């Protein structure tokens, strides 16, 4: 029988525990003893980005179950504790502090939310407990002086890499040179990609014909979209969250803009985005890039396990890429623990820095010692054609090879 593990305990947190054994009782953050290794997670499980947060949480849980079923890490089972941030930085800080100070977590799976990643940097440095997350803003993991933020690690391509890949595909492959920007000016996820995207377009024969912004909570985009239409744009770069993408696609369709204007939509157009819409066919002429291919043979066992486990998953199209990121985040932490001198936050941080060629779902990856960002990742391009995801294939711009 399928099972759903997530149980809401209060308006602000969700607690999930996987594993068994004697609870650790050290006196300082980031240390563990006894028979369990405590790994925490801070995800949006009930807010505006909960589609992504729930997916990462589920992926992490599947990895924990798999590791525990195989005997744990060096004979110790993982106890997994997950808190709901509601997508709010202060809630995330409160949850991280509770994990490190009260629960004695030695590592934390972080969210795919850059604003929260940025908010965690100083506290993670103080507590010395590493956060392995999917916050693509490169400032989360690397300082201005090009040295790493010691306890922050990224498991997917950075904002700069994503921006360059998407700009290159529009300019070099689709041969579209008149590009509009449309993004949430209050969201680091989108803002952080715009600079690299814009720079590549302008340096390679393209033109940014208009830059239209909105703020979190806006629901009517027709003024901005009409200005884009009037600008003569051939393509729109729209790196926004799923809720905003739904409104965007609906209004693009209503204005008749989805037939002639290409959208480069970014990660949040990936599955399960289409399944959240009453009429997926309104999403048309949209491209996005991912660091995995859903038909990759190495994903099939996990995909089937996910479908068997969660009642709301009927097909692969119901599986978010964030499931894979959560799954790999736990596996990378486990790999670091295996090689750590001590099961402490600092020991695991050092272990993560030593990973050079880990067999993650997208392929062999490691962490750069200069940035704590992944090295070795490639991207796969997809197109949404009238509500259907179509795989194009791997794509790496010359500048990133």
Domain 36-157+297-370 class, CATH top level = alpha beta
- Give me the residue spans of the domains in the chain: 36-157+297-370, 159-290+379-400
Whether the pLDDT of residue 314 is over 80: the answer is yes
Contacts of the segment 319-322: beta carbons below 8 A, 24+ positions apart? 319/55, 319/271, 319/272, 319/294, 320/51, 320/52, 320/55, 320/270, 320/271, 320/272, 321/55, 321/267, 321/270, 321/271, 321/290, 321/291, 321/292, 322/52, 322/53, 322/55, 322/56, 322/59, 322/112, 322/134
Q: Which two tokens stand for residue 288?
A: 């996005």
Q: Which two tokens stand for residue 71?
A: 């005997």
Q: Which two tokens stand for residue 44?
A: 């949006």
pLDDT of res. 26: 42
pLDDT of res. 379: 86
pLDDT of res. 306: 97
Average pLDDT over residues 28-43: 80
Average pLDDT over residues 225-238: 98
Whether the pLDDT of residue 266 is over 90: the answer is no
pLDDT of res. 130: 98
Instruction: State the residue for tokens 């949040």.
Output: 268
- Among 149-153, 192-196, 372-376, the least confident range: 372-376
What pLDDT digit, counting tens, does each position of 161-208 carry? 889 999 999 999 999 999 999 999 998 889 989 999 999 999 999 999
Phi and psi at residue 330, to the nearest 5°: -65, -45
- State the pTM of this model: 0.80
Residue 337's pLDDT band (boundaries 50, 70, 90)? Answer: very high
What pLDDT digit, counting tens, does each position of 232-258 carry? 999 999 999 999 999 999 999 999 999
Contact criterion met (CB below 8 Å) for 232 and 260 = no
The set of residues, in sequence order, having a beta carbon less than 8 Å from that of 180 and lying 6+ positions away, is: 208, 209, 210, 211, 212, 228, 231, 233, 235, 236, 237
Distance CA 331, CA 350 (A): 16
The set of residues, in sequence order, having a beta carbon less than 8 Å from that of 98 and lying 6+ positions away, is: 83
Give the CATH number of domain 159-290+379-400: 3.40.50.2300
Contact criterion met (CB below 8 Å) for 124 and 98 = no
What pLDDT digit, counting tens, does each position of 42-77 carry? 999 999 889 999 999 999 999 999 999 999 999 999
């Amino acid at each position: 029988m399928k099972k759903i593990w997530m149980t809401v305990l209060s308006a602000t947190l969700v607690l999930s525990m996987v594993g068994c054994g004697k609870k650790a009782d050290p006196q300082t953050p980031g240390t563990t003893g006894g028979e369990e290794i405590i790994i925490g997670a801070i995800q949006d499980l009930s807010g505006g980005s909960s589609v992504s947060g729930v997916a990462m949480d589920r992926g992490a849980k599947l990895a924990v179950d798999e590791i525990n079923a195989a005997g744990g890490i060096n004979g110790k089972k993982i106890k997994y504790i997950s808190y709901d941030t509601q997508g709010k930085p202060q809630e995330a800080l409160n949850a991280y502090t509770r994990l490190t100070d009260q629960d004695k977590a030695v590592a934390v799976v972080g969210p795919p939310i850059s604003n929260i990643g940025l908010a965690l940097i100083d506290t993670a440095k103080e507590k010395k407990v590493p956060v392995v997350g999917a916050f693509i803003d490169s400032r989360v993991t690397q300082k201005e002086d090009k040295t790493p933020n010691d306890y922050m690690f990224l498991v997917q391509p950075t904002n700069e890499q994503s921006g360059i890949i998407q700009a290159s595909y529009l300019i070099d492959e689709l041969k579209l040179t008149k590009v509009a920007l449309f993004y949430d000016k209050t969201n680091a996820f989108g803002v952080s990609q715009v600079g690299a995207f814009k720079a590549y377009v302008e340096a390679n024969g393209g033109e940014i014909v208009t830059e239209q912004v909105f703020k979190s909570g806006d629901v009517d985009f027709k003024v901005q979209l009409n200005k884009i239409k009037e600008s003569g744009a051939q393509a729109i770069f729209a790196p926004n969250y799923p809720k905003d993408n739904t409104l965007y696609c609906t209004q693009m369709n209503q204005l008749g803009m989805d037939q002639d204007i290409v959208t480069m939509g970014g990660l949040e157009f990936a599955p399960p985005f289409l399944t959240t819409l009453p009429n997926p066919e309104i999403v048309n002429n949209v491209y996005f890039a991912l660091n995995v291919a859903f038909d990759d043979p190495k994903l099939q066992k996990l995909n089937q396990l996910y479908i068997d486990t969660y009642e709301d998953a009927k097909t692969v199209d119901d599986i978010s890429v964030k499931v894979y990121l959560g799954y790999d985040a736990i596996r990378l932490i486990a790999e670091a623990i295996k090689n750590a001198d001590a099961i402490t936050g600092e020991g695991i941080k050092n272990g993560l820095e030593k990973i050079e060629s880990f067999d993650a779902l997208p392929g062999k990856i490691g962490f750069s010692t200069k940035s704590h960002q992944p090295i070795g990742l490639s991207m796969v391009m997809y197109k949404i054609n009238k509500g259907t995801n179509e795989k194009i294939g791997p794509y790496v711009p010359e500048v990133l090879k």
